[in-house]
């Protein structure tokens, strides 16, 4: 009798879960969809779901396909129900042609994959201490002298990168600042990639500290000689001018893995926020890149999706109070304003890059990030 009751309870629970998830389907969802070149997982998910970040919940991997989580142009996606729960199944040619569909378009994020990186500590990195003939700048075919490359060997290829800004978690908010060639902060115009600004009101207070230092790739070089502490590096043809103070990193040869799926964030820090906006803008919208104050150490990974919110301002109650000082003392926090959603595509230890997927209002540095299902 007990086993029968448990079976009935389990079946009822599964049925209710299926009904609840079915409510997340769009009313105008198609029953089938043929994947096209240029589609993204976010685009496809948004055709079926009100919340595209729930893609893992609806995607039914095809066991007959070698890489079951990969979808290719020409595949036919069909909405089916298993135990009352909706799933998407895939059918298509066994021999796939072209590239698999990614969560987002690589063309929108390519500069942030090839040209930028974030490290925890720039001061410990090897650096360019001089250039041949005491030049101010050196380019392809010329020599840079590097200090700190312990264990390096002739023939090794290295990447020369320039510290451009650091990301800091302050006591009241997180922010980004420009750096000079020594890695010291200075006030100047924003870099070509980012713009940062102060939040409108104190974000939730958190522990301060350096989140990371961002470096911009300048050139590749090959080590030709080791003379004591100095490595002689010949600059290669591709890239930009190199100067004293540029840092040196191992050349990154690993290809970018774009086979991630949108999924909701979990365990979000209370002080998580937008650090910077790409392209030197003060505000951004869909398909712009933003830097976030959370990274892999916070459980963030490629595909993690957040909602974006503007921190509600403190409003002095000048209706209740006639004079400014009493009104200010009786200030009340306005509700946060929903802005849109962003999906992470590259993570570092304490910082990540994300693409704004949708937005109904401009996104600015200092805006808050929350769970994608957040309502306030």
| 144 and 229 inside one domain | yes
Domain enclosing residue 308, as ranges? 263-370
Helix (H, G, I), strand (E, B) or coil at 329: helix
| 276 and 211 inside one domain | no
Q: What is the pLDDT of residue 326?
A: 75
Q: Cα 331 to the chain's mean position, in Å?
A: 35
Q: What is the pLDDT of residue 202?
A: 37
CB–CB of 198/282 below 8 Å? no
Task: Evaluate whether residue 198 is within a structural domain.
Answer: no
| 121 and 240 inside one domain | yes
State the Cα angle at 338 between 206 and 102, rounded to 5°: 90
Task: Evaluate whether residue 218 is within a structural domain.
Answer: yes
CB atoms within 10 A of CB 149: 20
Task: Evaluate whether residue 258 is within a structural domain.
Answer: no
Task: Evaluate whether residue 293 is within a structural domain.
Answer: yes
| 308 and 230 inside one domain | no
| 143 and 218 inside one domain | yes
| 119 and 246 inside one domain | yes
Task: Evaluate whether residue 257 is within a structural domain.
Answer: no
Task: Evaluate whether residue 375 is within a structural domain.
Answer: no
Quote the pTM value: 0.82
Structural tokens at position 168: 């800091």
Q: Under 8 Å CB-to-CB from 310, ≥6 apart: which residues?
A: 200, 336, 337, 339, 361, 364, 367, 368
Q: Under 8 Å CB-to-CB from 77, ≥6 apart: which residues?
A: 32, 33, 34, 35, 44, 71, 88, 89, 90
Task: Evaluate whether residue 197 is within a structural domain.
Answer: no
State the Cα angle at 311 between 306 and 314, rounded to 5°: 165
Task: Evaluate whether residue 136 is within a structural domain.
Answer: yes
Task: State phi, psi for 36 to the nearest 5 degrees.
Answer: -115, 155
Q: What is the pLDDT of residue 11?
A: 40
Q: What is the pLDDT of residue 119?
A: 93
| 208 and 287 inside one domain | no
Instruction: Give the DSSP letter string of 17-48.
Output: HHHHHHTTB-TT--SEEE--TT--HHHHHHHH
| 182 and 232 inside one domain | yes
The structural domain count of the chain equals 3
Q: What is the pLDDT of residue 233?
A: 96
Q: Cα 333 to the chain's mean position, in Å?
A: 29
Task: Spell out a b/e string for 36-50, using b for 16 or more CB atoms within 10 Å of the CB, else e.
Answer: eeebbbbbbbbebbe
pLDDT (tens digit, 0 to 9) for every residue of the chain, 376 residues total? 444 534 433 343 333 344 444 558 989 999 999 999 889 999 999 999 999 999 888 886 555 445 556 788 888 998 888 888 888 888 876 667 778 888 999 989 998 998 999 999 888 999 999 999 999 999 899 999 999 998 889 999 999 999 988 898 865 556 566 666 566 665 544 444 455 444 333 333 445 688 999 999 999 999 999 999 999 999 998 789 999 999 999 887 777 888 888 999 988 988 899 999 987 778 889 999 999 999 999 999 999 999 999 988 777 777 877 777 776 787 888 899 999 999 999 999 999 999 999 999 999 999 999 999 998 8
CATH number at residue 349: 2.40.10
| 23 and 73 inside one domain | yes
């Amino acid at each position: 009798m007990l086993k029968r009751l448990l079976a009935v309870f389990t079946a009822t629970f599964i049925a209710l879960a299926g009904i609840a998830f079915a409510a997340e389907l769009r009313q105008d969802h198609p029953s089938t969809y043929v994947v096209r070149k240029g589609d993204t997982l976010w685009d496809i998910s948004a055709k079926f779901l009100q919340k595209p970040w729930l893609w893992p919940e609806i995607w039914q991997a095809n066991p007959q396909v070698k890489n079951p989580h990969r979808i290719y142009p020409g595949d036919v996606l069909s909405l089916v129900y298993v135990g009352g729960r909706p799933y998407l199944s895939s059918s298509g040619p066994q021999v796939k042609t072209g590239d698999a569909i990614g969560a987002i378009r690589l063309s929108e994020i390519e500069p942030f994959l090839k040209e930028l990186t974030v490290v925890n500590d720039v001061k410990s990195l090897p650096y360019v201490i001089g250039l041949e003939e005491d030049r101010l700048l050196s380019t392809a075919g010329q020599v840079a002298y590097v200090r700190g490359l312990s264990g390096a060997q002739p023939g090794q290829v290295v990447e020369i990168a320039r510290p451009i800004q650091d990301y800091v978690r302050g006591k009241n908010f997180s922010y980004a600042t420009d750096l000079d060639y020594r890695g010291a902060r200075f006030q100047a115009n924003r870099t070509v990639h980012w713009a940062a600004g102060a939040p409108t009101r104190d974000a939730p207070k958190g522990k301060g500290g350096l989140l990371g230092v961002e470096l911009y790739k300048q050139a590749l070089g090959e080590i030709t000689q080791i003379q004591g502490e100095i490595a002689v590096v010949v600059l290669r043809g591709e890239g930009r001018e190199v100067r004293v103070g540029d840092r040196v990193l191992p050349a990154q040869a690993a290809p970018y893995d774009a086979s991630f799926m949108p999924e909701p964030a979990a365990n979000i820090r209370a002080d998580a926020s937008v650090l910077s906006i790409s392209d030197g803008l003060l505000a951004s919208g869909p398909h712009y890149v933003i830097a976030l104050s959370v990274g892999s150490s916070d459980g963030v990974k490629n595909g993690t999706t957040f909602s974006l919110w503007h921190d509600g301002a403190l409003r002095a109650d000048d209706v209740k109070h006639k004079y400014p000082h009493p009104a200010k003392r009786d200030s009340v926090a306005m509700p946060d304003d929903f802005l849109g959603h962003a999906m992470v595509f590259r993570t570092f230890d304490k910082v990540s890059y994300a693409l704004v997927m949708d937005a109904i209002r401009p996104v600015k540095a200092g805006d808050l990030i929350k769970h994608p299902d957040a309502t306030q």
